[in-house]
Amino acid sequence: MNTESKNRARQLLAQLTLEEKLYQLSAQMLFDVAPDYEQQRDHKHGNYRNPGHFMHAKRQEPASPSEVAARINRDVQLTMDAHPHAVPPLEHGEALHGAQWGMATCFPQPIGMASTFDDELVARIADVIGKECAAVGVRQALTPVVNIARDCRWGRTIETFGEDVLLSSNMGVAMCRGLQKNGVIATPKHFADNYSDGGRDSNYSYTSERTMRRVYLKPFEKCLGEGGAMSVMAAYNAWEGVPCSCNERLLTEILRDEWEFEGFVVSDYWGVEGIYEAHKLVDSYPKAQSRCLKAGLEVNLPHTCYEKLVTALEDGEITEADVDRAVLRVLSAKFAIGLMDAPFVDPAAADALVRCEAHRQLALEAARRSIVLLKNEGVLPLDRKRISRLAVFGVSANELPVGKNYSGPFQRLWEAEDAKTPLQYLREYVDGYAEVIFAEDEKIEEIASVCDAAIYFTTVVEGEGMDRSDIRLPAYTKKMQEDESALIVGKFEIEVKTDQEQSIRRMSAANANSIVMLLNGAPVDMSAWVDGCGAILEAWYPGEQGAQAMTEILFGKVNPSAKLPITFPRSVGQLPLFYSNMPSGRGYGYVENDGSPLYPFGYGLSYTTFAPENVTCTSEGDRLQISLDLHNTGECDGAEVIQIYLSGRNGDVVMPVRELKAYQRAEVAAGASVRVALEIPAEAFCYYDHRMAYGMHDCDYTVSVATSCVDVHRAFEVRVREGKVLL
């Protein structure tokens, strides 16, 4: 936060009445933007869930960007008119993989973004999301999700950047920078450790402080420091006996005192209310409100807390000094993003910007780079000239591949006239060459046996409020949980008429050229069918341009280059399973298997082959430099991700068996080589010692140059002594 913004905020704060101050910490959300909307809206609040999110539900055609911008402009004016000092409100919304106020550009879900291992690409995505939020007047985005996903039973795994601390931190920083540079406040969430044993969302955290600091807090620290995020969202769960929304250890001692964070904290929706209703820590809402405010949570979302603050003041639970401290942080952020000086937007400009050609092309590039080739027994790429009939199965083939999680506005799926389903794009792509036959699963044997290849598009139910104890592909229709949060993120019933595992086995038996296209947000158990099929692609939910990207990869126009940002288990019994585990005192295996995953972190195949050559490692004081020639030894252009892992020993504490410390995606033409250089910074060699002191403590390391966490091409031994890395 710059000095000028803080000084202007202090000057304004000194002029505000107590009522104006309290409203700066309060919020409102209205689900129905109906003719009486303005009569229902209390115009004094300082924070609103933007109305654009709700404008599309009862319309035949969705609202245009200009309509959304005009509505938000009107809201901002009403709020400014209601205050003696004309303080504009923060209009907030979701922006997980696109600006969710309406039908903005829809990118791959975050788990797919992480598969690109491409920080620069994610930075460009974030810049577009920031622009499309700001274009309509949404000035705070409740994103990114930087919780580390180490149990894929958690329904919100789809929202994360996977299981790795470095990858999640880098992607989170890129998202925050992209939003903030466009005057949109980034709000990384959920602070902290937002799921628990068994992947249960928002359950009590039993995580030790060592693990919390080493793993789960690190991406937040990076997002707020390097990413410049001006806000953070407190989690629903409790840690160390105290709910995160009123956890002074988290919100004041760590966030403010240690990290020197100057922004403001918002609650997760209804999180403050949960202090007394769910956690039962206090016996009234005003007491919960005061407890949160004093601990360091400023803004209570999504509904009004004004009356609760008044009661807390009257009862002596909080003081005006507590209020002033909180309001100053909010006002400083409003000045810093330019909201106080330019509170309105140009509706016509919004129409020209949102989903413009450049933005759609970026969505296509992201989709192409996010799809992981997991298995290929000579089936892919398909030759369009040798395919006369192509069988397609699975209901997801006939749906836009955006995922039903934070993708569309209130009670409406994301849509666009120019967006295509996989089935539509496949038919267009092979038009004049082949026939695409889409059939129900009951006709698999009949259809697949007479086609040159067969593809099954899977369907999975997941998302917020949808934790799973069974990670196999669902075998029957499931309905999303009906609650207020589900309404906000937009959840819909999925249709599964048959046992998908059985269908895939039948398809593979009927056609040797069988392909499974996984459309999901978290790993699935493939044990029942993985051996039979010829090829498997993990498409995640690749976004609005996903149909084209999937088709191009199937037919070899695009060479897959993505890598797994999360470990794929063999079965649910292995969970939680992640690559950077601590060494076992005895062994890792089960009676049924050796404990190894089906597909490891960082894994992903290509239609070509690569050979890292001439690998060198040099020390430069407190850091290392790794250089190599990456040779494409195959017959088509492609891209590889070079990954650097450290394995520590002889240190002060037990170290993970391996940890990712650097990575770089490199494109190489067929038969060519490129020079790749990576720096392993001093921070990579820092850890918490047994006294919980963080620093570059002495330790011995194996430095592995790899293309997945288990595919090591070269290793070096180094030592850290007195703050220097020695070869």
pLDDT in tens, 399-443: 999 998 899 999 899 999 999 999 999 999 999 999 999 999 999
Q: Residue 432, class by beta-carbon neighbours within 10 Å (0-12 exposed, 13-18 middle, 19+ buried)?
A: exposed
Ordered by start, the domain boundaries in the chain are: 3-12+24-352, 371-574, 610-726
In this predicted structure, what is the pLDDT of residue 238?
A: 97
Indicate whether 504 pLDDT > 60. yes
pLDDT in tens, 684-695: 999 999 999 999
Cβ atoms within 10 Å of 609's Cβ, excluding its own: 13
Place of tokens 């040159």: 452
More confident of the two residues 497 and 146: 146
Q: CA-CA distance, 134 to 236, in Å (whole number)?
A: 28
Going by pLDDT thresholds of 50, 70 and 90, the confidence category of residue 384 is: confident
Mean pLDDT of the region 140-151? 98
Q: CA-CA distance, 596 to 588, in Å (whole number)?
A: 8
In this predicted structure, what is the pLDDT of residue 491?
A: 58
Indicate whether 83 pLDDT > 60. yes
Indicate whether 91 pLDDT > 80. yes
Handedness of CA 518, 519, 524, 525 (dihedral sign): negative
Going by pLDDT thresholds of 50, 70 and 90, the confidence category of residue 385 is: confident
In this predicted structure, what is the pLDDT of residue 623?
A: 96
Q: CA-CA distance, 304 to 574, in Å (whole number)?
A: 44
Question: Residue 725 pairs with which residues in a beta bridge?
Answer: 720
For residues 503 and 441, is the Cβ–Cβ distance under 8 A?
yes
Q: CA-CA distance, 644 to 658, in Å (whole number)?
A: 10
Indicate whether 493 pLDDT > 80. no
Indicate whether 703 pLDDT > 60. yes
CATH superfamily label, 3-12+24-352: Glycoside hydrolase, family 3, N-terminal domain (3.20.20.300)
Whether domain 610-726 has CATH 3.40.50.720: no
Would you list the DSSP string of 23-74?
HHT-EE--S---TTHHHH--TT-SEEE-GGGGTTTT-SSPPPHHHHHHHHHH
Mean pLDDT of the region 646-653? 97
Q: CA-CA distance, 426 to 448, in Å (whole number)?
A: 16
Place of tokens 């000092």: 85
Q: CA-CA distance, 503 to 545, in Å (whole number)?
A: 27
Indicate whether 487 pLDDT > 80. no
pLDDT in tens, 562-615: 999 999 999 999 999 999 999 988 877 888 888 899 999 999 999 999 999 999
- Most distant CA atoms of the chain, gap in Å: 79
**For residue 186, which of 155, 150, 152, 146 has the smallest C-alpha distance?**
146
Indicate whether 479 pLDDT > 60. no
Q: CA-CA distance, 468 to 472, in Å (whole number)?
A: 9
Share above pLDDT 70 across residues of the chain, in percent, rounded to a whole number: 97
Over the chain, what is the mean pLDDT?
95
Task: Count CA atoms within 13 Å of residue 577 on its CB side.
Answer: 26
Which spans in 619-725 are helix H?
A: none
Q: Is 185 helix (H, G, I), strand (E, B) or coil?
A: strand
- Which DSSP letter does residue 101 get? T
pLDDT in tens, 189-244: 999 999 998 999 999 999 999 999 999 999 999 999 999 999 999 999 999 999 99
In this predicted structure, what is the pLDDT of residue 461?
A: 78
For residues 551 and 422, is the Cβ–Cβ distance under 8 A?
yes
Handedness of CA 593, 595, 597, 602 (dihedral sign): negative
pLDDT in tens, 325-359: 999 999 999 999 999 999 999 999 999 999 999 99
Q: CA-CA distance, 145 to 135, in Å (whole number)?
A: 23
Q: Residue 17, class by beta-carbon neighbours within 10 Å (0-12 exposed, 13-18 middle, 19+ buried)?
A: exposed
Q: CA-CA distance, 306 to 286, in Å (whole number)?
A: 10
Class of domain 371-574: alpha beta
Q: Is 430 helix (H, G, I), strand (E, B) or coil?
A: coil
Q: CA-CA distance, 249 to 64, in Å (whole number)?
A: 44
**For residue 298, which of 126, 140, 459, 521 has the smallest C-alpha distance?**
140
Indicate whether 483 pLDDT > 60. no
Handedness of CA 158, 162, 166, 167 (dihedral sign): negative
Lowest-pLDDT range of 70-79, 99-108, 470-479: 470-479
Any idea how long the chain is?
727
Q: CA-CA distance, 283 to 377, in Å (whole number)?
A: 62
Q: CA-CA distance, 193 to 633, in Å (whole number)?
A: 43
- Return phi, psi of residue 89, to 5°: -85, 160
Q: Is 117 helix (H, G, I), strand (E, B) or coil?
A: coil
Q: Is 245 helix (H, G, I), strand (E, B) or coil?
A: helix
Question: Residue 706 pairs with which residues in a beta bridge?
Answer: 643, 712
Mean pLDDT of the region 134-160? 97
For residues 137 and 66, is the Cβ–Cβ distance under 8 A?
no
pTM for this model (two decimals): 0.97
